[in-house]
Chains A and B, each alone.
Chain A
Amino acid sequence: MAVKVINPGLSTTVQDLGRPGYYHLGIPLSGGMDRFALRVANMLVGNDEGAAVLEAVFMGPELEFTAAATVAVTGGDLPPKVNGEERAGWEAFPVKAGDRLSFGFLKSGARAYIAVSGGIDVPVKLGSRATYTLGALGGHEGRALKAGDELPVGEGVQGKGSVPEALRRMPGSPAELRMLPGLYWHRITAEAGQRFFADTWKVAPEADRIGYRFKGGTALDFVPREQPFGAGSNPSNIVDACYPYGSIQVPGGTEPIVLHRDAVSGGGYMMVGCVISADMDLIGQLQPHSPARFVEVTMDQALAARADRQAALARVRAHLGL
């Protein structure tokens, strides 16, 4: 069984839950940006939640199946069609040999997850099938899909069911991204910190799997200091350090960048804190120009939000009888 790529869409990659353990070498986790949607797509087709799926951004691909399978599309509202006939998102549907899966225009969100029963069976690299395009690692030949690619699919149990809107998880507008201040937060003035949370930011066009840039807020004022040896001359420079996932760096104090699943693992810009783990999925569903706010939380609130996200996944499992 295989999936043939007729048209790859804008940038469609093979993703799973990622590749931990190599960040100290600069190889990031990778994996689906919206892991909630990725897990649910797999649940719907009877796969393990961490099986490899296709992640499509803004525009869907066109695919042809060489054998019968069950398919589900979750995440952003990118309407699936089988041989031109619309299917529901967040719902398992069957395909036959020779059927073509295509997509209508994106109505909301940014990324769709296309799961096929059996899972996309590209080779495992360093423990994962996820694509890390910058490092040409994993996925299908280390890159986004191209027309003419053929992806092997594993043997799979066929799932069923659908997930109602109330059980899904998508960002609001403006998106509220909860963040724990820290790291180099002390480098900015108290007033700059207040404005950072008060401002409504907009997602910049430079928003991809490495990171999301935000613009439109007030530039940060730094606490004056003599720059330490080796840091560089700009007040936003630090001696090159590790970058956590979700960390918010502000080069030059102007436009915050939130690092995501294909993060650069380190560099010389100060960070004001991190978006909490529970809200990383939501960033993956933001389109350029959409509004967003950063909301300050404590560690206890971050852990409670993490538990809420896990409970939301548990509700989906219960709903699907898994």
Chain B
Amino acid sequence: MTIRFSFGGDEHIFGEVSESMSLEAFFTSLSMTNAVRAAGIKGVTEICPANASFQVKFDPDAIKPDDLLKELQGMEAAASQSDASLQTRIIEIPVFYQDPWTHETLMRFRERHQDPSKTDLEYAAEINGLGTVENFIKAHSSQPWFVSMVGFVAGLPFLYQMVERERQLQVPKYLRPRTDTPKLTVGHGGCFSCIYSVRGAGGYQMFGVTPMPIYDPTQKVSYLQDEMCLFRPGDIVKWKPISRDDYDAALEAVEENRFEPVIRPATFSLSEFNKDMAGTNAKLMEALNGR
């Protein structure tokens, strides 16, 4: 893969590893941003990996744009050959699918949807050929997902499915974005799922909500006291479907600040994953469930 570089005004360099999404493109992007961070280049102020691209913000008074571009181009060969493996974490996210709050919201914005006669989940199940909402939820929650980008708003993870491309769930975004999305909505657009960290505008289809905070600017939530944002690129997520009762109990635990997320260390190797996806995912589940 040859990275396409472009200046974003006089303060950014944008690097597109690939036009299409793949874990290979993500790992090259992550390697590039890790290399830029390790190089400690004077004048670099922000280093942002994304799904299949990345961005470096710089102060052109400290480094000439062309000089920084040359430095980045010099890192490209090493980054694309680097061993795509990670010491990372697997995080279980409880999801109350078909909850009343996203349902109320999606009904308010039906006229912006491709199929106003169906809910977002009914539509997603149909266009993915899965027949029923239950089958869709099973497909959505049975395999792990890979955090390939953090952003849009504070701490929002973009999640990529760890299955063969043919099996990936794809759903278009709303025709026109909504002006409202409940906080902690689990959404999906294109091939990505996400968790909306704050209430606000959004264009992804809405499938459910999690009771588990993922961003806390007040840093009071027990597991968000050191870092306001839970997710980092490279984290692995497993959705756990829960009932209304489970949701209410989890929410009570969150409110009393005794909610403990299930987070376990895990290793991930892209080459092993490509050789044996089912086997890799099974090992990740063992890491999560301690079996």
The A-B contact count (CB < 8 A) is 185
In the complex, the answer to whether B10 meets A240 with C-beta atoms within 8 Å is: no
Q: Which residues of A contact B43 (CB under 8 A)?
A: none
In the complex, the answer to whether A231 meets B20 with C-beta atoms within 8 Å is: yes
Q: Which residues of B contact A302 (CB under 8 A)?
A: 9-10
From A142, A245, A275, A278, B217 is in contact (CB under 8 Å) with A142
In the complex with contacts A26-B150, A232-B189, A125-B217 CB distance below 8 A: yes
In the complex, the answer to whether A246 meets B9 with C-beta atoms within 8 Å is: yes
Segment 16-48 of A: residues with Cβ below 8 Å from B: 20-21, 23-27
Is A311 an interface residue, CB under 8 A from the partner? no
In the complex, the answer to whether A244 meets B14 with C-beta atoms within 8 Å is: yes
Is B270 an interface residue, CB under 8 A from the partner? no
Number of interface residues of A (CB under 8 A): 54
Q: Which residues of A contact B189 (CB under 8 A)?
A: 232, 268
Is B60 an interface residue, CB under 8 A from the partner? yes
In the complex with contacts A24-B151, A26-B155, A135-B215, A241-B50 CB distance below 8 A: yes
Is A265 an interface residue, CB under 8 A from the partner? yes
Is A157 an interface residue, CB under 8 A from the partner? no
From A25, A134, A136, A238, B150 is in contact (CB under 8 Å) with A25
A248 to B221, CA, bound (A): 36
User: Which of B190-198, B241-249, B278-286 sits within the interface?
Assistant: B190-198
Cβ distance A278 to chain B, nearest Cβ, rounded Å: 8
Q: Which residues of A contact B200 (CB under 8 A)?
A: 134
In the complex, the answer to whether B48 meets A277 with C-beta atoms within 8 Å is: no
Q: Which residues of B contact A (CB under 8 A)?
A: 6-12, 14, 16, 18-22, 33, 45-55, 57, 60-61, 65, 149-156, 158, 165, 172-173, 189-192, 197-198, 200, 215, 217, 228-229
Q: Enumerate the 6 nearest inter-chain pairs by beta-carbon distance, A residue then B residue, closest first.
A: A230-B21, A274-B9, A244-B8, A228-B20, A242-B55, A265-B151
Q: Which residues of A contact B (CB under 8 A)?
A: 20-21, 23-27, 125-126, 132, 134-138, 142, 179-180, 182-183, 185, 228-233, 237-242, 244-247, 264-268, 271, 273-278, 299, 302-303, 306, 310
Identify 21 residue pairs between A and B in the complex whose beta-carbon atoms are under 8 Å apart, listed by A's number: A20-B57, A23-B48, A24-B150, A26-B155, A132-B154, A134-B200, A180-B10, A183-B8, A230-B192, A231-B21, A232-B173, A240-B50, A241-B51, A244-B9, A244-B57, A246-B11, A247-B9, A265-B153, A268-B189, A277-B11, A299-B65
